[in-house]
């Protein structure tokens, strides 16, 4: 058989160029679906964020619009509704009362929820899953039914509608948030750290406050933030448990809507949003949330 002629340098160069072009085309074909998938992922996330933030934008526009009704495009910017909100005695009393209830609820829910989560994670109790389900059950029941049930219980006990009853109702609804977030942190907790502290002579109390608590602090703080926000904006339970003259801000706003609808409602909503934001910022400044969560 006749031996094939060797390739010339130009043919070899063309062959290598052809292989390179083919490799580039294959790489482009492999990257193209990834690019389309990333673009679709970003588009979906932007659409979700827009859907979530659009009501807030509408509320802010309503609060800053000088007209007593929602108008697009807005005719100007005015703070008249904020001035009306802060000048109204009923609104200010309700705002202060809501803050008082929210702070008391946050303290109670944080202490009880974190303690319950620690007992569930460390107690080796039988039926731990059933206990967790019971602790989280208030989230499954409509809040308005919870408020009605608590109202009937207070009537049967003949205790009226005191402040502690309202705080108890809010605490019942907010404990699941603290339990869930604390359990999530305890799930990845390294018990050897506590054992090392005990072996070095630390008492159980000192081990808890200097080892356990700092490590579970992210979950506890996250639950506390949820508890404050949920309590401050709680309407169904408060509807049944507030007493005349001691009404929370959502109840006062609901009663205000029965007779009037103007930018004061938007101003009150913006104040509520800013308060929730300030709570997060204050915790970040005091305990350093950025050390635990990448914002």
The string of pLDDT tens digits covering residues 131-189 is 888 888 888 888 888 888 888 888 888 888 888 888 999 999 999 988 888 888 877 77
Q: What is the pLDDT of residue 294?
A: 44
Is residue 233 a contact partner of residue 272, using CB atoms and an 8 Å limit? yes
What are the boundaries of each domain within the chain? Answer: 1-78, 83-291
Q: What is the pLDDT of residue 102?
A: 92
Is residue 143 a contact partner of residue 81, using CB atoms and an 8 Å limit? no
Closest CA to 119 of 103, 105, 134: 134
Residue 105 has pLDDT above 90, yes or no: yes
Residue 191 has pLDDT above 80, yes or no: no
Quick one: average pLDDT of 57-74? 76
| DSSP-assigned states of every residue in the chain | -PPPPPPPHHHHHHHHHHHHHHHHHHHHHHHHHHHHHHHHHHHHHHHHHHHHHHHHHHHHHHHH-SSSS--SS-S----HHHHHHHH-HHHHHHHHHHHHHHHHHHHHHHHHHHHHHHHHHHS--TTHHHHHHHHHGGGTS-HHHHHHHHHHHHHHHT--S-HHHHHHHHHHHHHHHHHHHHHHHHTT--HHHHHHHHHTT--HHHHIIIIIHHHHHHHHHHHHHHHHHHHHT--HHHHHH-BTTB--HHHHHHHHHTT--SHHHHHHHHHHHHHHHHHHHHHHHHH-GGGTS--
**Per-residue pLDDT reduced to its tens digit, 17-62:** 555 555 556 655 555 555 667 778 788 888 888 888 888 888 888 8
- CATH architecture of the domain covering 83-291: Orthogonal Bundle (1.10)
Q: What is the pLDDT of residue 295?
A: 35
Full-model pTM: 0.76
């Amino acid at each position: 058989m006749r031996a094939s002629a060797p390739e010339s340098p130009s043919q070899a160069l063309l062959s290598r160029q052809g292989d390179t072009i083919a490799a580039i085309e294959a790489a482009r074909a492999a990257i193209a679906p990834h690019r389309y998938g990333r673009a679709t992922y970003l588009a979906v996330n932007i659409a979700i964020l827009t859907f979530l933030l659009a009501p807030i934008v509408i509320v802010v526009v309503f609060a800053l619009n000088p007209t007593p009704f929602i108008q697009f495009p807005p005719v100007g910017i005015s703070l008249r509704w904020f001035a009306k909100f802060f000048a109204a005695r009923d609104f200010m009393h309700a705002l202060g009362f809501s803050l008082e209830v929210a702070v008391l609820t946050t303290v109670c829910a944080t202490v009880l929820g974190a303690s319950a989560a620690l007992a569930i994670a460390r107690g080796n109790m039988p039926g731990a899953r059933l206990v967790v389900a019971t602790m989280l059950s208030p989230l499954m029941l409509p809040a308005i039914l919870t408020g009605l049930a608590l109202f009937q219980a207070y009537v049967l006990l003949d205790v009226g509608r005191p402040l502690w009853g309202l705080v108890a109702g809010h605490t019942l609804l907010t404990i699941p948030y603290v339990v869930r977030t604390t359990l999530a942190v305890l799930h990845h907790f390294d018990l050897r750290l506590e054992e090392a502290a005990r072996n070095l002579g630390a008492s159980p109390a000192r081990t808890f406050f200097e080892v356990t608590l700092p490590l579970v602090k992210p979950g506890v703080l996250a639950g506390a933030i949820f508890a404050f926000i949920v309590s401050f904006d709680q309407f169904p339970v408060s509807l049944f448990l507030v007493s005349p003259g001691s009404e929370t801000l959502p109840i006062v706003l609901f009663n205000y809507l029965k007779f009037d609808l103007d930018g004061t409602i938007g101003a009150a909503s913006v104040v509520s949003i800013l308060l929730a934001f300030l709570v997060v910022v204050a915790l970040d400044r005091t305990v350093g949330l950025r050390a635990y969560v990448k914002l």
